[in-house]
Structure 1
Amino acid sequence: MSLLEVITKAASNPTEHSCPSDYPIILNPDTIFPNLKPKLEDPCPSSLVNPLIGWKISETDSKLIDISKKFFTNLKNTKGFGKDEFISMLNSYLEMIRDKAGVSIRVDSSDSDYTRLLIEKLGVLMGKDVTGLVLEGCVALEIWELVEALAVSGIVEHSCYLNLITRLVEKKRSDLLCTCIKHAFDLGPSELLCVLKYFLSPSKDAYASMVNVRKEWENQALLAIEKASDNSLQKKKLALAKEASILLMIAYDGFSPSELCLHHLLSSSNIDDVMLAPAFSKLNGKEMTNLIQYLTKWLKKYERFPQAGPCPNASAVLGLKACDWVPKLEDVVKCLGLVLDENFSSLVLHPEFHEELTSMEKVVGSLTAEARLSFSMAGVIEKLKTVEVQGGKN
């Protein structure tokens, strides 16, 4: 059977995916490659493909796969389980993986974070099939701390995210949507559109969880101020803290809870133009207006505080993780360019956008003039350096 036939058959028979794959985990290559040998003693040198023999996975991998397949079968009907029974089954499964893989995890089973810690340590050994079912069960039973653990561990497959994002929007879990944006490597246009619509035009009952996100930003901003006022810090750390406090101040002040959630989307390095453009093109008038107002706020912030800039070291050095999720000026400009490209006709034909665009034009003009001045100054500095070097030689 050709590769095309395999793909076609799989696409036409989605029910087959109810069974776990033969190799659901990442196999250990150290025990496989050394045993591979050419099938032919004297292979043809002109042949593009020379078959190999000796393929055999390790005993540990084989047992891990068997454990996952059995658990997959038991877990298929997550609707029949209560929360306690589900967690008990999951713990037993993870403990078997731990014992078989020989992983040492020093945490007592009575710990309230026991299951979450097991997922953090052993999630990569669960396999994509089991992970999908566990995620489905956690969402159905609203075990949100485990949903977060699965997302943070980076083991959630792309195929699971559309359903996950949809369910989180239904449940108004703004905090977990932000977590998914931070840690998902392959969100598609459909997922991004769903998130954008939710943040740009939130319902009243969505604000409760958005306030939690706002509280996180507030705590980080207060921590930055505390660090910037701590004279016991080393000179470099103190300077970094002051830079971070300015950055977090402009990211927090004046933004609504839903806009603070948008920060994560705008600053994510995992989301590119190809994914954002289709999502922007499907926003309605109200959503587009809110997005333009949000981007205008950022432009005005960077116009007013030109000293604000990225602080990539603040997270590791000072624990100010929010600094990683503050949109840079280039992020804002890139996003604005996409909005204008994808919605040019609507923006021109509908007068309700004109006032916002006029306001934005003034800010962009000011930033452009400042950029030109900075560029000119940079040129002067380079020339002065050249003159200084040449003068030193003479």
Structure 2
Amino acid sequence: MTLLAAITSSAANPAAGGGPVAHPIVLTPGAAPPPPTSSALPTPIPPSAWTLAPADPTLPKAASFLAASLTSCSSLPRLRTLLNSFFAALSQSLSLPPPPPALPAATRALAPYFPAALASLVASKAASFAEFDVIFALAESRRLPHPPADLISTLSDNDRADLVCSVLRQAADLRSSEILAALCFFLSPGTNKAYDAMMRVKGRWKDAAVLAVQKCREKGPGKMKVDAAARQAALLLMMGHDGFSSPEVCLHYLFASGNVDSVVLGAAVAELNGGEVVRLMRYLNKWIGKYQRFPEAQACPEAVGMLGLEQCDSVPSFGAVIRALGVLLDNHFSHLVLSTEVREELMAAEVMVRQLAVEAESSGPILDLLRRLQHDK
């Protein structure tokens, strides 16, 4: 029996083959194969048939109306009405849930969709009406990377140290006038209310340090990475808390910012008076002593992500401290050298910097060797 006869016979009598055949193969000599049931490539759509849904004009109109209305807004109730109207239009245009009735809560809920250009205008107008809850909601949501020029000075005049720290923490660029306003506010608190606000900021650092220590003591599976981050965070928070006064803790937010240019900082530092220069020198000297005592301290971004300890991002690095000290000496060297009350601290800072420089120089060959070994691997 030929192969063709065997196949056709098996297809005709499935029982003879020992069982049913689900998909019999039938070969017909000379017949064309059947067409495929579906094409491998999709049917092309001509470009003339492409269409886009029309953009919703509601949101641009609402944003333009809010920006234009803020310039002429002259009362706090009017500001609240404008913001509530814009938030309702924003939620409707983006198919979001209705905003909460409270204005600060609505600001936090819609902050990810809030235009950055409008956030600066809203913050400026809210500061003029002392609507600080809205400013805090915007700053907490990181919607003020470019704060208005008068915001820090207005917050300082109203003794809102917590808001000044929040704005400094996220600012992408700072003008010399803003840096000067923050320096004068922290180095020379004018009222007891301002000092009390700075004490509350330091209290949050203490709470964060206690939380980091508690995380270090927790035991359980998979805790090695968290424990290492908690230990590093506890060290950083201890360095930033112990030995610093409440106004000095607030200074951390300014010098920890990586967006403060040395030239702009120098223009602000040059305007400080003698007492403020001495206090700033002592503040920077404390940091040099901390890094000399704890050279293993380094930035710990994991502490913010895993543990929620945002204060760890506001610890000035050793490089930032040295740059600030250099700027201070460049602008006020004569005053610092001739001042009897700071001369000893200046000499102590010189000794510590020299020791750290010698240690860094001696560690250079070892670091080069380690890099070469890692590269060879």
Structure 2, unaligned stretches of length 5 or more? Answer: 1-46, 48-52
- Name the counterpart of 1:95: 88
User: In the TM superposition, what are the counterparts of 1:153-172 in structure 2 within 5 Å?
Assistant: 153-156=141-144, 158=146, 161-172=148-159
- Name the counterpart of 2:242: 253
- Name the counterpart of 1:149: 137
Answer yes or no: is the 8 Å Cα contact 1:94–1:122 preserved in 2. no
Aligned to 2:136, the other structure's residue is in SS state: helix
Q: Counterpart amino acid of 2:211?
A: L
User: In the TM superposition, what are the counterparts of 1:173-188 in structure 2 within 5 Å?
Assistant: 173-188=160-175
Query: Could you tell me how far apart the structure 2 residues matched to 1:217 and 1:103 are?
Result: 39
1:203 maps to 2:196:
no
1:189 maps to 2:176:
yes
Query: Could you tell me how far apart the structure 2 residues matched to 1:186 and 1:341 are?
Result: 22
- After superposition, the C-alpha distances for 1:95-121 in whole angstroms (9 at most, x for unaligned) are 112212x2424x663467532224413
- After superposition, the C-alpha distances for 1:111-145 in whole angstroms (9 at most, x for unaligned) are 67532224413311xx73x5455323322332212
Answer yes or no: is the 8 Å Cα contact 2:80–2:103 preserved in 1. no
Aligned to 2:149, the other structure's residue is in SS state: helix
Answer yes or no: is the 8 Å Cα contact 1:72–1:133 preserved in 2. yes
Aligned to 1:162, the other structure's residue is in SS state: coil
Structure-2 change in CA distance of 1:382 and 1:134 (3 Å): closer
1:65 maps to 2:60:
yes
Query: Could you tell me how far apart the structure 1 residues matched to 2:286 and 2:317 are?
Result: 13
Structure-2 change in CA distance of 1:88 and 1:240 (3 Å): same
- Name the counterpart of 2:123: 135
Offset of residue 68 of structure 1: 2.8
Structure-2 change in CA distance of 1:153 and 1:285 (3 Å): same
Answer yes or no: is the 8 Å Cα contact 1:98–1:122 preserved in 2. no
Structure-2 change in CA distance of 1:229 and 1:65 (3 Å): same
Answer yes or no: is the 8 Å Cα contact 1:165–1:177 preserved in 2. yes
Structure-2 change in CA distance of 1:367 and 1:131 (3 Å): closer
Offset of residue 185 of structure 1: 1.4
Offset of residue 224 of structure 1: 0.6
Structure number with larger C-alpha Rg: 2
Aligned to 2:228, the other structure's residue is in SS state: helix
Query: Could you tell me how far apart the structure 2 residues matched to 1:214 and 1:290 are?
Result: 18
Structure-2 change in CA distance of 1:140 and 1:298 (3 Å): same
- Name the counterpart of 1:271: 260
Query: Could you tell me how far apart the structure 1 residues matched to 2:233 and 2:120 are?
Result: 38
Offset of residue 168 of structure 1: 0.5
Q: Counterpart amino acid of 1:96?
A: A
Query: Could you tell me how far apart the structure 1 residues matched to 2:186 and 2:249 are?
Result: 9
Query: Could you tell me how far apart the structure 2 residues matched to 1:73 and 1:214 are?
Result: 40
- After superposition, the C-alpha distances for 1:333-353 in whole angstroms (9 at most, x for unaligned) are 111111122222333344444
Answer yes or no: is the 8 Å Cα contact 2:99–2:106 preserved in 1. no
Q: Counterpart amino acid of 2:105?
A: Y
Offset of residue 150 of structure 1: 2.6
RMSD between aligned alpha carbons? 2.9
Answer yes or no: is the 8 Å Cα contact 2:84–2:103 preserved in 1. no
Aligned to 1:240, the other structure's residue is in SS state: helix
Query: Could you tell me how far apart the structure 2 residues matched to 1:113 and 1:345 are?
Result: 49
User: In the TM superposition, what are the counterparts of 1:1-394 in structure 2 within 5 Å?
Assistant: 59-60=55-56, 62-82=57-77, 86-100=79-93, 102-105=94-97, 109-110=100-101, 113-124=104-115, 128=117, 130-156=118-144, 158=146, 161-205=148-192, 206-232=194-220, 234-378=223-367
Query: Could you tell me how far apart the structure 2 residues matched to 1:92 and 1:382 are?
Result: 59
Q: Counterpart amino acid of 1:280?
A: V
- After superposition, the C-alpha distances for 1:9-28 in whole angstroms (9 at most, x for unaligned) are xxxxxxxxxxxxxxxxxxxx
- After superposition, the C-alpha distances for 1:148-180 in whole angstroms (9 at most, x for unaligned) are 22334555485x622111110100111111111
Structure 1, unaligned stretches of length 5 or more? Answer: 1-33, 35-56
Structure-2 change in CA distance of 1:376 and 1:181 (3 Å): same
Answer yes or no: is the 8 Å Cα contact 2:299–2:312 preserved in 1. yes
Taking structure 1 as the reference length, the TM-score comes to: 0.74
Which shifted more, 304-313 or 85-94?
A: 85-94
Which shifted more, 341-350 or 297-306?
A: 341-350
Offset of residue 72 of structure 1: 4.2
Q: Counterpart amino acid of 1:64?
A: L
Taking structure 2 as the reference length, the TM-score comes to: 0.77
Q: Counterpart amino acid of 2:79?
A: F
Offset of residue 258 of structure 1: 0.7
